[in-house]
Every structure is written in C-alpha cells, then in structure tokens.
C-alpha cells in the first residue's frame, strides 16, 4: 500500500543543511498497522509528512497504492496531536469538513458521519460544539473526521499524546477496534513504546541524526490488546525491553552520509 524507496530528506537552514532522513526503505502492506518510534529528532514526523504528500523528498520516492505521491491525496487522511476542531462548527459539521473540501455526496457522507460518531461512542453529541466536549471526546471527533471519506490510508502523528493516561488507553483500544472493523492501513507515530506494541502489527525503529531505519520488530500478540495488565503482559514486557535496547543503542557508524544538495 505504501512504499518508501531510498528516501533522504535535507532541509536548508541559515546555519547549513539539516539532514533529517537518510536512505529510508519501508513497505507498509495493505490493512497493516505500523508504528514509528525513535528519539526526538529522528525524523518520524518528517517521514509521515512525506507519506502524506506534505513534503517532497530530497532524494528517493514515496508511493501509495502504486502511485507516486507528489501532493496530498483524498484517499489519505492525516491526524495530528491536537484535534484542531473549528469552534464555530458543530461536531457533525467538523466531521463533514473533508467532504466539503474534497467534494462528494453530502447526504451519504452525513449518514457516514453519524455512523462513525456512534462507532466511537458519541451518539447524541452530533449537534454539540467543541467547547462542550472533553479533550478525549474532541479527539474522537477528529478520528471520525479522518475516517469520514473512507481513506485507504490513515497517517497519525502522536494523536493521543496530549490525553490523560486513562483516556489514552481508551483511545488506543478504540483505534484497534476501528482498524479491525474498517481494515484501514495505518501508520502511527508515537514516543510511547508500550503504545507502539499495543497498536502495531510491526514497530519500525528509527535511529537519529539523520534518521535511518534501525530495525523492524514484528508484534505477534493476539488482538485485542490493552495498555493495562492482561494475559499478554509478559509478551509486552519482553518486546518493550527489546525496543528500549534498540532505542538506547548508539547510531551505527557510517562513512556515507549522503549529504545531498549542499
């Protein structure tokens, strides 16, 4: 579904070039849930923006469904850390915003919006406004907005990091359930190792400065999973220890930094 081929990203700055990503090769399969983890500054969000078509790679290419990504696509949704709901619009109007931007059958999508609100436990809140909702409820509305156009791919950049621990657990469980029901391909950026394990089919570990793909770890734990204690706690602990070790290891030495466009 998503192919990242030999992608390098360099940003120009007053002090010289900032080498964000170097030679990234990654294939995300259809209906797969992949999480990206790594230290701050390793290029996780940059990689997500390249997949979304919000950035053009300095070198290499990104494809979605066999097509080169050169700009944002209507079949790829992006969800950020903050819900960014428009305060003057009702819940259902916020969910419908992508339909108004991209076009489509408003009646059909409005029915879809109400179905999604019911799916995430917001039945009866369609005509409320953002200020009447809790942070977790607002993020649920943002999730519905990301899903309303039935995207092939969802790209999620730390969407639960600002939530309290209990709400974060609930949202993680909700997202697993939705992904299993809707079979959407998801790439999810997080700083939380436990969250990465609970959500993912595979965890992709990036090393920093510049970001390189250090290792991909398969998560073979039956779903549904939870951040709390359950029958798979030992497996989560084992994988968590492995990922901690990968993140703590120093970057691999290289003599080829491929500093392009300097």
Q: Quick one: which of 206, 214, 210 has its CA closest to 19?
A: 210
What does the alpha-carbon distance between residue 156 and residue 107 come to, in Å, rounded to a whole number? 27
How many whole angstroms from its chain centre is CA 30? 15
Mean pLDDT for the stretch of residues 191-210: 92
CB-CB contact of 134 with 179 (8 Å): no
Q: Is the pLDDT of residue 131 over 70?
A: yes
- pLDDT tens, residue by residue, 98-108: 888 877 777 88
At residue 77, the pLDDT reads: 93
Which residue is listed with tokens 């300097």? 262
CB-CB contact of 186 with 156 (8 Å): yes
- pLDDT tens, residue by residue, 144-177: 999 998 899 999 999 888 888 888 888 888 888 8
What does the alpha-carbon distance between residue 69 and residue 71 come to, in Å, rounded to a whole number? 6
Domain limits, CATH 3.40.50.300, in the chain:
1-75+151-156+169-262
Q: Is the pLDDT of residue 258 over 50?
A: no
Q: Is the pLDDT of residue 192 over 60?
A: yes
What does the alpha-carbon distance between residue 99 and residue 77 come to, in Å, rounded to a whole number? 12
CB-CB contact of 156 with 196 (8 Å): no
Q: Is the pLDDT of residue 139 over 80?
A: yes
Q: Architecture of domain 1-75+151-156+169-262 in CATH?
A: 3-Layer(aba) Sandwich (3.40)
Q: Is the pLDDT of residue 226 over 80?
A: no
At residue 252, the pLDDT reads: 62
């Amino acid at each position: 579904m998503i192919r990242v081929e030999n992608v390098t990203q360099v940003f120009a700055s007053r002090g010289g070039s900032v080498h964000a990503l170097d030679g990234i090769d990654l294939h995300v399969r259809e209906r797969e849930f992949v999480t990206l983890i790594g230290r701050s500054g390793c290029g996780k969000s940059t990689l997500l923006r390249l997949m979304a078509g919000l950035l053009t790679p300095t070198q290499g290419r990104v494809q979605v469904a066999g097509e080169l990504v050169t700009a944002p696509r209507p079949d790829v949704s992006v969800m950020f850390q903050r819900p960014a709901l428009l305060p003057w619009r009702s819940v259902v109007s916020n969910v419908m915003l992508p339909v108004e931007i991209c076009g489509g059958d408003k009646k059909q999508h409005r029915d879809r919006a109400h179905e999604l609100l019911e799916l995430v436990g917001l039945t009866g809140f369609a005509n409320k406004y953002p200020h009447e909702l809790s942070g977790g409820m607002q993020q649920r509305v943002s999730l519905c907005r990301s899903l309303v156009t039935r995207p092939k791919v969802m790209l999620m950049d730390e969407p639960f990091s600002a939530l309290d621990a209990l709400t974060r657990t609930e949202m993680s469980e909700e997202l697993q359930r939705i992904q299993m029901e809707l079979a959407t391909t998801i790439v999810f950026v997080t700083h939380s190792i436990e969250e990465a394990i609970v959500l993912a089919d595979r965890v992709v570990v990036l090393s920093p400065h510049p970001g390189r793909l250090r290792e991909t770890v398969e998560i073979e734990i039956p779903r549904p999973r939870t951040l709390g204690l359950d029958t798979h706690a030992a497996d989560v602990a084992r994988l968590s220890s492995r990922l901690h070790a990968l993140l703590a290891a120093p970057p691999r030495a290289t003599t080829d930094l491929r500093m392009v466009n300097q």
